[in-house]
C-alpha cells in the first residue's frame, strides 16, 4: 500500500559534526607529523628557528620521535574498531618509550634512553631539552587508549581524555604565565600533543559518551554551546584572577574546572540521548496512531486528507486516480446478531483482503464505520472498474461470518469515479462522486459496482451481468 511519509515537516536528525570531526582527524594527524618532521630536520641541520626555543626549552628527540610514530599510526584511521598489525607495532613502540622515560624520571638515577637519543641532535643545545613527565604521561595515555580501543571503545575514550588533562594543564599554564604548571613541556611539544590528542579523540565519535555530544539533536546542540561557554568561561576566570603563581596550582585549578564541565556534559549525554530516543519513538507512535485505524490497521480519514493535500500540492504528478468507495452490505445485521466482537473481526479480515488485492502504489483507508476508500493512482476508468469487481468478488468469496454454524458471506457495494489531474475538479470532488455512485448501488440491490463517470452527474450501472473481468483477476 502507499506509505505516507511520517516525517513531513520534521527535520531529519543527522551527525554532520561527527562527519566533520572524522575528516579533521586525519588532517590533525598529518599536521602533527609535518611539524614533528620539521622540528627534527631543523635540529639535525643545526638551524633551529627561534620560535621553537622561545620559552627557554625545546622539544626533546624522544618527544619528536614518539609524536612521529604516533601520528603515522593514527593517520587515516578507520572509524570502526579495525587495527592493522603495523599500527599496533607503532603504538607498542611509543608506549614503551613513554614507560621507559617515566621509569627514568621516577625510578632510575640515570637516563640512558634520553642520552642515546640526544646524541642524534647537536653536540650542545642552547637550551635544556628534556621529555618531561607530563609529556610522557600524555603520550602514554594516548597510546594506551589506541591499543585498547578494539576491545572497549568507552574505556579507551576515557583513557584518551585522561591523556588530555596534563596537556590542558600545560596549555592554561603557558597562557597565563605559570611556569610551574607546564614544567619541561616546551611550546612546540604542547602543540604536537594537542594535535595528536585531538586527532586520537575524534576517532571515538561513535562511542556512547561522545556520540550524543556530536549529534544534531537539541541536546547535542545545547551541549556544544555549553562546552564552548565553559571554555570561554575558564579563560575569562584565568584572565581575571590569575597572578604570579609559579607553583602551577592556578593552572591545575583552571584545568580541573574545564574538565569537570566537560565530564558532566559527556556523562549526561547518554542519558539525554536515551530520553531523546524515547521521545522520538513516542512521537512516531503518536503520528502512526493519528494516521492509522487501530482496528483494521488501514489508514484513517486524516491520513487520506494528508494524501489529498500532498497530491494537490504536487501539481498533478499522475494522469488519473481511480476512486472507489466501498460499503459493507447489511453490516448492522452482523453486529445485532452475533455482537460487535464478530463485527470487528469482519472489518479486520475485510481490510486484510482489500490490501492483499491492491498494488503497492494503491491506497486503502477506513473511511467511516463500515466504509472503505480505495485510491488507484494512474488507473483509468476501465482499470478502476476491473479492480472494483476484483475486490467485490474477493470479499464475497473469502470474508464471512457464522450464524448457528452457517457461513454468511460478506458483500460490498462499491461506487467508482475517476479523478483527472487536469484541474477540472479536485480529488475531494471525485470522492463525492464515488459516494453518489455508492448510494445508487445500495438503492439498486447492493453487492454491485456503479460508476459515476458522467460529467454532469448520474451513475452508470456496471454490474457483474454486463461487466465481466477476466476470471484470473477475481482470485
pLDDT at 45 exceeding the cut of 90: no
Q: What is the pLDDT of residues 259-304, one digit of tens each?
A: 888 888 888 888 888 888 888 888 888 887 778 888 888 988 888 8
Tell me: pLDDT of 413 over 80. Answer: yes
Question: What pTM does this model have?
Answer: 0.60
Strands in 382-471 per DSSP E: 400-403, 406-409, 412-420, 449-452, 460-461
pLDDT tens-place string over residues 118-167 = 776 655 555 556 788 999 999 999 999 999 998 998 899 999 999 999 99
* Long-range contacts, 449-452 (Cβ 8 Å, 24+): 449/385, 449/388, 449/389, 449/392, 449/413, 449/414, 449/415, 449/416, 450/414, 450/415, 450/416, 451/381, 451/384, 451/385, 451/415, 451/416, 451/417, 452/415, 452/416, 452/417
> How far apart are alpha carbons 365 and 8 in whole angstroms?
19
Q: What percent of the chain has pLDDT over 90?
A: 36
Segment 153-177, tens digit of pLDDT: 889 999 999 999 999 988 888 887 7
Q: What is the rounded distance in angstroms from the CA atom of residue 344 to the CA atom of residue 232?
A: 64
Residue 256 has pLDDT above 50, yes or no: yes
Task: Return the closest-CA partner of residue 170 out of 182, 187, 155.
Answer: 182
pLDDT higher than 60, residue 13: no
Asked if pLDDT for residue 438 goes beyond 90, the answer is yes
Q: Looking at residue 423, what is its pLDDT? A: 67
- Mean pLDDT, rounded, of the chain: 82
pLDDT of res. 466: 37
Compute the average pLDDT of residues 452-457: 53
Furthest-apart CA pair in the chain: how many Å? Answer: 112
Amino acid at each position: 500500500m502507499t506509505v505516507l511519509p511520517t516525517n513531513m515537516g520534521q527535520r531529519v536528525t543527522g551527525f554532520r559534526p561527527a562527519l566533520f570531526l572524522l575528516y579533521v582527524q586525519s588532517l590533525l594527524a598529518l599536521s602533527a607529523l609535518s611539524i614533528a618532521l620539521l622540528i627534527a630536520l631543523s635540529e639535525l641541520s643545526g638551524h633551529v628557528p627561534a620560535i621553537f626555543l622561545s620559552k627557554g626549552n625545546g622539544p626533546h628527540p624522544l618527544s619528536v620521535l614518539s609524536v612521529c610514530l604516533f601520528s603515522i599510526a593514527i593517520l587515516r584511521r578507520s572509524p570502526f574498531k579495525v587495527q592493522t598489525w603495523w599500527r599496533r607495532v607503532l603504538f607498542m613502540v611509543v608506549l614503551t618509550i613513554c614507560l621507559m622515560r617515566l621509569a627514568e624520571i621516577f625510578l632510575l638515577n640515570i637516563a640512558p634512553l634520553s642520552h642515546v637519543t640526544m646524541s642524534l641532535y647537536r653536540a650542545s643545545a642552547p637550551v635544556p631539552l628534556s621529555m618531561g613527565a607530563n609529556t610522557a604521561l600524555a603520550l602514554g595515555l594516548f597510546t594506551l587508549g589506541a591499543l585498547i580501543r578494539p576491545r572497549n571503545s568507552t574505556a579507551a575514550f576515557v583513557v584518551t581524555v585522561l591523556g588530555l588533562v596534563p596537556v590542558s594543564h600545560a596549555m592554561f599554564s603557558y597562557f597565563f604565565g605559570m611556569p610551574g604548571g607546564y614544567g619541561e613541556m616546551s611550546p612546540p611539544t604542547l602543540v604536537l600533543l594537542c594535535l595528536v590528542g585531538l586527532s586520537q579523540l575524534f576517532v571515538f565519535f561513535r562511542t556512547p559518551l561522545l556520540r550524543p555530544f556530536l549529534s544534531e539533536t537539541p541536546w547535542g546542540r545545547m551541549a556544544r554551546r555549553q562546552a564552548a561557554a565553559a571554555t570561554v568561561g575558564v579563560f575569562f576566570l584565568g584572565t581575571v584572577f590569575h597572578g604570579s603563581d609559579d607553583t602551577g596550582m592556578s593552572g591545575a585549578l583552571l584545568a580541573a574546572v574545564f574538565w569537570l564541565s566537560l565530564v558532566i556534559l559527556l556523562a549526561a549525554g547518554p542519558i539525554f540521548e536515551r530520553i531523546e530516543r524515547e521521545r522520538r519513538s513516542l512521537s512516531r507512535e503518536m503520528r502512526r496512531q493519528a494516521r492509522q485505524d487501530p482496528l483494521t490497521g488501514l489508514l484513517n480519514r486524516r491520513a487520506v486528507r494528508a494524501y489529498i493535500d500532498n497530491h494537490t500540492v504536487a501539481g498533478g504528478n499522475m494522469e488519473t486516480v481511480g476512486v472507489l468507495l466501498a460499503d459493507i452490505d447489511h453490516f448492522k445485521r452482523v453486529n445485532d446478531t452475533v455482537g460487535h466482537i464478530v463485527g470487528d473481526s469482519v472489518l479486520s479480515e475485510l481490510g486484510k483482503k482489500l490490501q492483499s488485492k491492491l498494488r503497492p502504489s494503491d491506497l486503502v483507508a477506513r473511511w467511516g464505520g463500515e466504509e472503505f476508500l480505495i485510491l488507484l493512482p494512474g488507473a483509468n476508468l476501465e482499470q478502476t472498474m476491473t479492480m472494483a469487481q476484483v475486490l467485490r468478488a474477493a470479499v464475497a468469496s473469502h470474508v464471512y461470518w457464522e450464524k448457528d454454524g452457517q457461513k454468511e458471506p460478506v458483500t460490498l457495494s462499491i461506487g467508482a469515479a475517476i479523478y483527472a489531474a487536469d484541474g477540472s475538479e479536485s480529488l475531494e470532488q471525485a470522492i463525492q462522486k464515488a459516494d453518489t455512485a455508492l448510494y445508487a448501488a445500495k438503492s439498486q440491490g447492493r453487492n454491485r459496482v456503479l460508476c459515476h463517470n458522467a460529467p454532469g452527474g448520474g451513475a452508470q450501472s456496471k454490474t457483474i451481468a454486463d461487466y465481466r473481468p477476466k476470471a484470473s483477476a477475481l482470485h
